[in-house]
Structure 1
Amino acid sequence: MKSNSFLVPLVTLFLLGSALSVSYAAEKKSSIAGGNLVGKVVEAPNNTGVSFATVALLAAKDSSLAVGSVADLNGVFSIPNVTPGNYIVRVTNIGYQTLFVPNVSVATEANVIDLGMLVMVAEAQKLNEVTITAEKSMIVDDIDKKIISIGQDLLASSNSVSDLMEKLPAVSLDENGNPQVRGKGNVVVLIDGKPSNLYGNDLPTILQSFPANLIERIEVMTTPSAKYEGEGASGVIDIITKKVKIRGTNGGARLSLGNKKNNSASGNVNYKAGKFGLTSSINAQSTNRYSKRSLNRENFISETPTFLQQTGTGENNNKNIFGRLGLNYDFNEKNTLEVGANYSRNNSGNRSDILNQTTFGDGSIKEEFTRINRGNGNGESMNMSLDYRKKFDKENQLFSFTANYSLGESGNDSFFDQESNIDSLDRHQKNLRNNNRRSLFLNSDYTWPITPKATLEVGIRSRFNTSDNTNSFYNLNAENQEFVFDPRISNIFGYKDQTYTGFMTFSKKTDMWGIRAGLRVTDYNQDINQISSNRQFGVHFLTLVPSLAITRKFNDVSQLKLNYSRRVQRPEADWLNPFTDVSDPRNIQTGNPDLKPEFTHKAELGYSSYETSGGWGPSLFMDYSNNAITRIRTIDENGIALSRYDNVGREMAYGFETDFSKTVWEVLKINGSGRVFRSEVVSAMAQIDNRTWSYSGNLNAFIKLPMDFRASAYLNYEGPRAIAQGTREGVFVANMGIRKDLLEKKATVSFNIQDIFLSRAYKSQLATETYSQNSLWQQTNRLINLSFNYRFGKISSRSGSGA
């Protein structure tokens, strides 16, 4: 492993050498080039910016492609160093008529040629039927994030947002379905810039129930600016849903049938006429998952060492329904109001059987019992939102206000049958859990373009969350066969938090340089009321989150950037709540009211070059925290483990990462990401010193086959990582699929297989002076599904003018 210490400096030299060579080539080219073409692509009649429009410069004499560019989110584009001559400008984007601008002349002495606003017309004003077939999967590297547009290939191989997540650069899912960035959890997930918990408490369920075909793009921020949530030590993921952009009616329907009753159906309809727009969607899904688990732990702390072995299987089935309805109204060109509502409901059932066996060193059995758990749960959530946007006379000056209110409730009934030949271990228990929650989110932003190239953005946020939780345990009385409440292992508590945030970011761009600096101030308050033990306590944090991003452009597609961000992970309610959970009597867990926030410093130096045919984005990164929140496990003389979160010490990760994409002969399209990194967890207090080098990566491949078939493959490997008290092993996943477009590309039928080799196994090893432990959790069913997706677009011949 010692030789790996040369990796980071070698990569640094390689990256800087590449950047300097590109810079030299760009400067050399600029000495003989003519001028820079700039402009903005807008949509008629409101002159709103058209995001990611493709601007091509064609030679006037033969219409051959000379150079091209992609507009940014606001429709602004720049084509630098254009060779003197006569050209035709061609502008294209999905859902719009192709725009041609002839007779564009670039003189030798030209500096900047401003084409002004290039106005595109929606296809809705031209066609009676619109079928969207263009592929728009691509990566755009902004100053502080990567923007991944979702194209038809990704949609055909993905039923839900959860499926899409795994295909993003640097993103993976853990064993519970929670997103990870660079192999680490604690990721803030937003939906249209709003906290995902407005849609429900369980993030994996939200992502699994959210249909993939409602997503327009996903933004991944590994070093987020101060504009975004200060939480999320690993990063921020913002899921942007589709909006009504074209006039008329369009939508789609999808049906997916899978093995072992893993089925789903969804549909969406969008309507736009004049000033009024409507979006609606519904998704129903049933999932069935099977798993196995094992744990082997040797206990050194007792006078006579013992060995605990747990083996078991599990089954979880879930049914959920998710619906959305949105209405938007354009009062005029500058004022827009949108209201929306989301509703979700789920029902779940689970069963697990675990054999617990404790033996002495000679193999003789000390105790043995089987614990059978049967549970049923249900929950529902309602979210209502209001969004108002006002544009001012000055270009790009914008005020926005958002209000979201959500409420939800959930309940779970579990029965534990613990069977043993030892009377003291033979018991029957009932566990009833209920949760009621309410959330209010208020957000106001103002964007002020101080100059054409400098922008100030300020905003304030307020968030209020409350929840009432009941966790009641009952023991069966053997004499009367009635369950009796046990207050020793039951818990009733109330939880509240209030967050007040203000942020400011300043951005300035020149032809070659860009800078974005920001500061976020957050006042955070938590109140926990342990009603069952008559104990109340509160937590208050005031945090500052600065950020800085600097970019140096070499040409229209290549740039070098340096980013820094300070992140904070605040303790969650369950981590603070000192209640002891005994659902697994050999592995109990409790909260720690003395937890302090974890602050993480994140830095990244990266280069990116993305063209229509592909590109890559290598970077060096480092994450550092000196008060990391980590789960610590201790063991007593009886071999019972107690887990709780603590601020243990220093945690660090650093390495090299790159994403890449390439289209080969318009037949093969590949994209993916990979990284080589070192992870370290060190704590003198907890006697922890774990350091390891590792590598991870994912690869997506799409290939066109005869008869209009297209195949896809997805591979992901998440390498070993140092964790507190041990190591988490690597995880490998392989998926594949095949699809075919039908009915003049209005429909797609696809066949997909997930976890082909049943290799998604999560293993970890822990080792301390008092115990050593190996554990495994694995999903044991290979998921196979056949999906049919139909898209339609019925467009009226007039745009309409009514409300």
Structure 2
Amino acid sequence: MKRTSFLNLIALFLLTNTFFVSLPAIAFPVNGTKTGYVDGGKLVGKIVESPGNVGVSFATVALLMVKDSALTNGGVADENGVFTIANVNPGKYILRITNMGYQTLFVPNVSVAAEGNLLDLGNITILPEAKKLNEVIVRGEKSMIVDDIDKKMVNIGKDMLATSNNVSDLLEKVPAVSLDENGNPQVRGKGNVVVLIDGKPSNLYGSDLPTILQSFPANLIERIDVMTTPSAKYEGEGASGVIDIITKKTKIRGTNGGMRLTLGNKNNHNLSGNINYKAGKFGLNASLSGQSRQMTWKRNLSRDNFISENTSHLQQSGTGGNKGKNAFGRVGMNYDFNDKNSVEVGVNYSLDENKNNSSILNETSVTPGIVSESFRRLNNTSGNGNNMNFSFDYRKKFADKDHQLNFTSSYSLGSSDGESYLSQESEIDSLLRNQQNIRDAKRRSLFLNTDYTWPITPKSTLEVGLRSRTSSNDNTNAFYTMSKETGSYGFDPNISNIFGYRDATYTGFMTFSQKTDLWGMRAGLRVTDYNQEINQISVNREFSVHFLTLVPSLALTRKLGETSQLKLNYSRRVQRPEADWLNPYTDISDPRNVKSGNPNLKPEFTHKAEMGYSNYEASGGFGPSLFMDYSNNAITQIRTIDESGISLTRFDNVGRELSYGFETDFSQTIGEILKINGSGRVFRSEVVSQIAQIDNRTWSYSGNLNAFIKLPMDFRASAYVNYEGPRAIAQGTREGVFIANMGIRKDLLEKKATISFNVQDIFLSRAYKSQLNTATYSQNSLWQQTNRLVNLTFQYRFGKITASGDDA
């Protein structure tokens, strides 16, 4: 993405934001009129706050009929509190004024004469909510964790939002969830997690999940659902579980929005904003965010190779960095035909630009202490990507509000391109080389989903659904090597690859739920017909695979009290090979550690069981559980060594993988000063494969903790620590990783604004170490982020919304 395009998008958002904020008074149909405006009088006035008669920005002004309080007209005050309501029929009215953080004010006996053209109401004073004397209403935040029969719902509170810029920041604060070194979510320390956004696959928003999560603004998120043993209603993929990110869809009237600016060190900046408007049956929401990011790292690798006649030693050390910019825009419209029928359409568009560089010194020795060959590998890579997604959703409610039909659809298309320049510097002529890699990828996908919910009786419900997802992915990797004689690049057909990938998934599911006063049960079955077509165009090799899978699930609950219950869950999961895992393209950016895909991969099936207790109240609670995951055909990365000491890493089906242990999450409010939440687990992990000669078993522990502390002068501080303990991996073990973040914030401008200061990775401890040991080699490696992230954030909220319907 070009810099000018990126800045133009930001400018476009600011102009759009200004347009909506400065809308004049909005005319509504009056006295049953359905089209156009009607002639009439005009009301003007100014909404102020005492003392000082300071104008109150963006208050919502509604004109109500005296007879039945029906809404006939209205408008929104400007930034100075001035409002105008045009085309008012003669008669008597009640004026209702609402705004966030203020008491609702009713002005009676507003009389518009037949012969009058203008009625100036002058200054109208409203009081902040804190000054209300006759009645005190305390509205606390929702309980952070709500335990449903097949998932845990984590509500995103104000404290989490104040210390989070994007969804990646939020996920690190969710119990049992962490991020790996690349920014991909993990559940209980393991990857292979399906991430959904509003129940739809996240890859509809783009191909790179970490970039999607970093570009999605945190203030658009209502809650995050974590499913470690998902029911058959959810995607059958994801051996570790499912994370569903639910965006805000509150039924509102009025206009509100906000802007957020983050300035950070090392060029880590972020600007985002959103606006929501609702009047009558029509609603509009829009958001835009732009981000620049930069991260530096270091890498070390030490390997003894035993496969050759003489043991050789490889030592690698180097540094690198990643720079990037992205922009994410979203526009949605919804229309309620009536109380039972509604539609919503939306468009998302994202752009991403990244630049990576690395410098790695490679030293090989056969005799200890004597280097036999040495070269430095330099890699400079740049890339661009974009993705557009169109969605259409329809919802129909029947007489019983739990009886409904939902249809959702999404169409996504995107592309990415990039180029890498690789060079080797050495005193040995045979090791000198210059290479170039040019990449191009195009993808398309279509998602269709229909769900029907039928409450058979007041305590039993049947859900059925049909889903289809088709996608295509065409990748071209062209590799060129510079000729020493001519100095020009020549195409290398041996490592270049043109890869075509198609898949089609057709799914049907059914779940039946039964509840009594004490017991709950949900049983389900998901049937999936999955088809893959793989075309290695460059070598004229084409083949297809077909899988028919059954995913059963069962959940039982027993209530022990008003908020406490026991739960027993079982689910079978399937991890189908991803396109990147199958693509046989050979990545030689590190010539001593080559990577490739494996087109012969088979699906992995995992059995997941969990038995737990939970007791969550508004002030806090906890949810301990015993869990077990078992797979007999696990997909994992395997590294092999050839006689020249070069390793090849690719995914393979290795054998049995088992994990079991004890886990608990908790949240607690202590007085009015301290809020804490977190999770912890003690577990055993085992990876065993007779064919690959793997037998790794280890006990470990992990946990995270969030604390939000109220300080004097209305300051609030937060702290976050996470530790992922050692665990068994194929061919070795991975050491534990510790991360600590902190922040402090303060509300300003009558709580319409917040300023916060945050530090991530305080101790620069985000270091990933592993030890691999086989009959042919022994290896120790380290990858560590080397820049601490420090940022200052200012957030401002404007406007007023009033809830309606279920949200009141």
TM-score range, shorter chain: 0.7 to 0.9
Q: Contact (CA 8 Å) 1:244, 1:270: kept in 2 or not?
A: no
1:314 to 316, 320, 324: 320
Q: Contact (CA 8 Å) 2:505, 2:529: kept in 1 or not?
A: yes
| Residues 515 and 452 of structure 1, relative CA distance in 2, 3 Å threshold | same
Q: Contact (CA 8 Å) 1:412, 1:433: kept in 2 or not?
A: yes
Question: What pairs up with 1:149-228 in 2 under 5 angstroms?
Answer: 149-228=155-234
Q: Helix, strand or coil for the counterpart of 1:197?
A: helix
Query: 1:638 corresponds to which letter in structure 2?
Result: S
CA–CA distance in structure 2, aligned partners of residues 605 and 163 of structure 1: 29
TM-score of the superposed pair, with normalisation by structure 2: 0.82
CA–CA distance in structure 1, aligned partners of residues 414 and 518 of structure 2: 49
Q: CA deviation at 1:396?
A: 1.1
1:744-765 CA distances to partner (integer Å, 9 max, x unpaired)?
1111000000000000000000
2:651 match = 645
Query: 2:297 corresponds to which letter in structure 1?
Result: S
1:130 to 76, 92, 100: 100
Q: Helix, strand or coil for the counterpart of 1:204?
A: helix
Query: 2:584 corresponds to which letter in structure 1?
Result: P
Please say if 1:403 is aligned against 2:409: yes
Q: CA deviation at 1:420?
A: 1.1
1:254 match = 260
CA–CA distance in structure 2, aligned partners of residues 798 and 430 of structure 1: 59
Please say if 1:623 is aligned against 2:635: no
2:699 match = 693
2:587 to 572, 581, 584: 581
Q: Helix, strand or coil for the counterpart of 2:190?
A: coil
1:434-465 CA distances to partner (integer Å, 9 max, x unpaired)?
10000000000000000000000000000010
| Residues 181 and 274 of structure 1, relative CA distance in 2, 3 Å threshold | same
CA–CA distance in structure 1, aligned partners of residues 594 and 354 of structure 2: 24
Residues matched between the structures, number: 678
| Residues 361 and 495 of structure 1, relative CA distance in 2, 3 Å threshold | same
Please say if 1:140 is aligned against 2:146: yes
Question: What pairs up with 1:644-793 in 2 under 5 angstroms?
Answer: 644-793=650-799
2:82 match = none
1:243 to 249, 257, 265: 249
What percentage of aligned pairs have identical amino acids?
Answer: 74
Q: CA deviation at 1:480?
A: 2.8
Please say if 1:275 is aligned against 2:281: yes
Q: CA deviation at 1:233?
A: 0.4
CA–CA distance in structure 1, aligned partners of residues 416 and 687 of structure 2: 36
Q: Helix, strand or coil for the counterpart of 1:207?
A: helix
Question: What pairs up with 1:24-39 in 2 under 5 angstroms?
Answer: none
Q: Bigger radius of gyration, 1 or 2?
A: 2
Q: Contact (CA 8 Å) 2:142, 2:618: kept in 1 or not?
A: no
Please say if 1:414 is aligned against 2:420: yes
2:525 match = 519
2:109 match = none
Q: Contact (CA 8 Å) 1:348, 1:378: kept in 2 or not?
A: yes
1:596 match = 602
CA–CA distance in structure 1, aligned partners of residues 355 and 779 of structure 2: 30
Q: Helix, strand or coil for the counterpart of 1:201?
A: coil
1:374-408 CA distances to partner (integer Å, 9 max, x unpaired)?
11110110000000000112341100111100000
CA–CA distance in structure 2, aligned partners of residues 738 and 137 of structure 1: 23
Q: CA deviation at 1:135?
A: 3.5
Q: CA deviation at 1:128?
A: 2.3
Q: CA deviation at 1:798?
A: 12
| Residues 797 and 538 of structure 1, relative CA distance in 2, 3 Å threshold | closer
2:399 match = 393
Q: Helix, strand or coil for the counterpart of 1:213?
A: helix
| Residues 237 and 796 of structure 1, relative CA distance in 2, 3 Å threshold | closer
1:623-648 CA distances to partner (integer Å, 9 max, x unpaired)?
00011111111101110001122111
Query: 2:200 corresponds to which letter in structure 1?
Result: K
2:445 to 439, 445, 456: 439
CA–CA distance in structure 1, aligned partners of residues 401 and 389 of structure 2: 33
1:275-325 CA distances to partner (integer Å, 9 max, x unpaired)?
001110000000010000111100011111010011110111000000000
Q: Contact (CA 8 Å) 1:131, 1:791: kept in 2 or not?
A: no
Q: Contact (CA 8 Å) 1:244, 1:279: kept in 2 or not?
A: no
CA–CA distance in structure 2, aligned partners of residues 170 and 631 of structure 1: 24
Identify the range of structure 1 (648-657 vs 386-395) with the bigger mean alpha-carbon deviation: 386-395
How large is the Cα RMSD of the aligned pairs?
A: 1.7
Unaligned runs of 5+ residues in structure 2 are 1-75, 77-94, 103-138
Q: Contact (CA 8 Å) 1:244, 1:278: kept in 2 or not?
A: no
Query: 1:488 corresponds to which letter in structure 2?
Result: N
Q: Contact (CA 8 Å) 1:127, 1:797: kept in 2 or not?
A: no
Q: Contact (CA 8 Å) 2:252, 2:803: kept in 1 or not?
A: no
Q: Helix, strand or coil for the counterpart of 1:321?
A: strand
| Residues 619 and 269 of structure 1, relative CA distance in 2, 3 Å threshold | same
Unaligned runs of 5+ residues in structure 1 are 1-123
Q: CA deviation at 1:134?
A: 5.3
Q: Contact (CA 8 Å) 1:602, 1:621: kept in 2 or not?
A: yes
CA–CA distance in structure 1, aligned partners of residues 707 and 802 of structure 2: 38
CA–CA distance in structure 2, aligned partners of residues 637 and 794 of structure 1: 70
1:16 match = none
Query: 2:300 corresponds to which letter in structure 1?
Result: S
Please say if 1:608 is aligned against 2:614: yes
Q: CA deviation at 1:546?
A: 0.2
1:231 to 225, 237, 246: 237
2:432 to 426, 430, 435: 426
2:505 to 478, 499, 504: 499
Query: 1:396 corresponds to which letter in structure 2?
Result: D
Please say if 1:537 is aligned against 2:543: yes
CA–CA distance in structure 2, aligned partners of residues 610 and 798 of structure 1: 27
CA–CA distance in structure 2, aligned partners of residues 362 and 468 of structure 1: 47
Q: Helix, strand or coil for the counterpart of 1:247?
A: strand
Q: Helix, strand or coil for the counterpart of 1:488?
A: coil
Q: CA deviation at 1:360?
A: 1.4
| Residues 313 and 131 of structure 1, relative CA distance in 2, 3 Å threshold | farther
Question: What pairs up with 1:433-472 in 2 under 5 angstroms?
Answer: 433-472=439-478
1:324 match = 330
Query: 2:669 corresponds to which letter in structure 1?
Result: T
Q: Contact (CA 8 Å) 1:244, 1:272: kept in 2 or not?
A: no
Q: CA deviation at 1:592?
A: 2.0
Q: Helix, strand or coil for the counterpart of 2:252?
A: coil
CA–CA distance in structure 1, aligned partners of residues 184 and 152 of structure 2: 20
Q: CA deviation at 1:797?
A: 13
CA–CA distance in structure 1, aligned partners of residues 206 and 619 of structure 2: 40
Please say if 1:337 is aligned against 2:343: yes
1:464-520 CA distances to partner (integer Å, 9 max, x unpaired)?
100110001111122332211111110011110000000000001111100000000
Q: CA deviation at 1:572?
A: 1.3
Q: CA deviation at 1:126?
A: 5.9
CA–CA distance in structure 2, aligned partners of residues 136 and 353 of structure 1: 50
CA–CA distance in structure 2, aligned partners of residues 375 and 176 of structure 1: 17
1:322-367 CA distances to partner (integer Å, 9 max, x unpaired)?
0000000000010000000000001111110000110113322121
Q: Contact (CA 8 Å) 2:253, 2:803: kept in 1 or not?
A: no
Q: CA deviation at 1:739?
A: 0.3
Q: Helix, strand or coil for the counterpart of 2:659?
A: strand
Please say if 1:377 is aligned against 2:383: yes
CA–CA distance in structure 1, aligned partners of residues 566 and 803 of structure 2: 47
